[in-house]
Amino acid sequence: MNARIFLTQLLGALGLIVILGFNVIIMDWWERKLVGHIHRRPGPMHTGWHGILQPFADMLKMLSKEDIVPDRADRLFFWLGPAVAVVPAFMALAVLPLAPGFALADIGNGLFFVFAMQTIMPFGYTLIGWSGHNKWSLVGALRSAAQLISYEIPMLIVALGILLAAGSARLTDIVNAQSTVWYAVKQPIGLLIFFITAVAEMNRSPFDMPEAESELVAGIHTEYAGMKFGLVMMAEYTAMLVGSWMIVLLFLGGWHLWPLPPSPVWLVLKLYLVQSGIIWLRGTYLRLRVDTMMEMSWKYLIPASLANLMLVGVLATTFKGF
C-alpha cells in the first residue's frame, strides 16, 4: 500500500473516533435536555452553560467507579461484548459519506456493507446480555436478538426499493439521485417503514425491549458497572448515529437541499434533526409489549414493505427517471 494513502486512512480513522466521541457527548447532553423540556423541566443546569459539561461529569464518575465483574460471568465475553457492539457501528461509519465522495471508503457496495455491519450488532448485544450470568440480562439479550433480526427484514426490503430506483448501491450515487426531489417524497411509505425499523434497530424507545426497565431490571446491561456501562451507552448512541445517517442518506437527500447548493452542512443538520426526532419519540410513546412488537414486524411491516417494493418497481419501469 502506498504510504500516503495509508496515512490519510489512518488520519481518517482517528477523525472518525473523534466524531464518534463528540457525537456521544453531544447526544447525551442533548437527550437529557430535550427529554427534560418535554417534561417541562430544564434538565441539567449546573455543569457549565446549561449543563453542557454534564457528559464529562458522568464520564469522570464512571471512569472512577469500582469495576465489578460478577463472579460467575464469562470474563472474556464480558469484556468483549461492548466492543463487539461498538466496532460494527464504527465500521459502518467508515463507508458513510459526508460529502460527495468524501468518506473513508466510498465503496461500490456501501449500502450492503452498512446493513451487513448492522447485522453484527445484535451479536454484540447478545454477548453483553449472556456473559453477565444474570437471568434478566439473558432475557434482554434474547429479546434484543429476536427484535433486531425481525426488524432487519422490512428494513432491507425497503432499501431494495431505493436500490431499484437509484440503480446503484454506492451511497454517493444514491444521494446524488436525489439532487432535486428526495426519495422521501417519491417513496413516503418506504420512509415510514424505514424510520420505524431504524428506530427498532437502534433499540430506542418505544422499541427498547432489551432495556425494559419496568420488566427486566436494566435489561442487557444489568451487570455492567462503571466505564463498561459507559461503553454500552456509547454503542447505543453510535447505533443511533448510523441509523439516522442512513435515513438521511437514503431518504432525506443527504447533502442536497434543493435549490440551495449541496453542502455537508445540510447533512449534519438533517442528521441531528432526525436524532432529535428520535428523542422526541422517546419522550412521547410508551414501550411496546414484546409480542405486539414482533407482531408489528411480521404481520404488518414485512407485507407493507413488500407492497412498497412492488409499487416502486412498477413506477420505476413505467416512468423514466423515477
Partner 1 sequence: MFGQGLLKGLSVTGRRMLGKTECDMYPYRKRVLPPKSRIFLSMRATPDGKALCNACLTCQQGCPDNVIRIEQDPEDRKRAVSFRVNSGRCTFCGICEENCPRHALTFTQDFERATFDKGTLTYALIADGTATGACVIVERTEPEHPASAEGGEDVG
Partner 2 sequence: MGLIENAERPNFILTTIDTLLRWGRSHSLWWCNAGSACCSLEFAAMGGARYDMDRIGSGLVRASPRQSDVLLIPGPITKKMAPIFVRVYNQMPDPKWVIAMGSCAISGGAFRESYSMTRGADTVLPVDVYVPGCPVRPEALFYGLLKLRARVRGTSNIGLAHREPIYVPPDLPPEWEAEVREFLGEHEAC
34 binds, among partner 1, partner 2, none (CB under 5 to 8 A by kind): partner 1
**Least spacing, CB of residue 12 vs partner 1, in Å:** 36
> Which listed residue (34, 139, 193, 241) binds partner 1 by CB under 8 A?
34
Does 303 interact with partner 1 (rule: CB under 8 A)?
no
Q: Are 171 and 106 in contact (CB under 8 A)?
A: yes
* Burial group, residue 270, by CB count within 10 angstroms (0-12, 13-18, 19+): buried
Distance CA 210, CA 142 (A): 8
CA atoms within 13 Å, Cβ hemisphere of 47: 14
Instruction: Provide DSSP, 137-153.
Output: HHHHHHHHHHHHHHHHH
145 binds, among partner 1, partner 2, none (CB under 5 to 8 A by kind): none
221 binds, among partner 1, partner 2, none (CB under 5 to 8 A by kind): partner 2
Count the site residues for partner 1 by CB under 8 A. 13
**Least spacing, CB of residue 100 vs partner 1, in Å:** 34
> Which listed residue (7, 15, 39, 180) binds partner 1 by CB under 8 A?
39
Number of CB atoms found within 10 A of residue 180's CB: 10
What one-letter code names the amino acid at 95? V
> Which listed residue (42, 48, 101, 108) binds partner 1 by CB under 8 A?
42
Distances (CA, A) of 237 to 31, 38, 240: 10, 20, 5
291 binds, among partner 2, partner 1, none (CB under 5 to 8 A by kind): none
Distance CA 303, CA 309 (A): 10
Output 179 or 284, the one with its CB closest to partner 1.
Answer: 284
**Least spacing, CB of residue 2 vs partner 2, in Å:** 43
101-160: contacts with partner 1 (CB under 8 A): none
289 binds, among partner 2, partner 1, none (CB under 5 to 8 A by kind): none
262-291: contacts with partner 1 (CB under 8 A): 280-281, 283-285
* Residue matched to cell numbers 431504524: 198
* Cell numbers representing residue 125 in the block: 448485544
> Which listed residue (16, 19, 26, 38) binds partner 1 by CB under 8 A?
38
Can you point out the beta strands (E) in the chain? none
* Cell numbers representing residue 30 in the block: 442533548
Question: What are the residues binding partner 1 (CB under 8 A)?
Answer: 34, 36-42, 280-281, 283-285
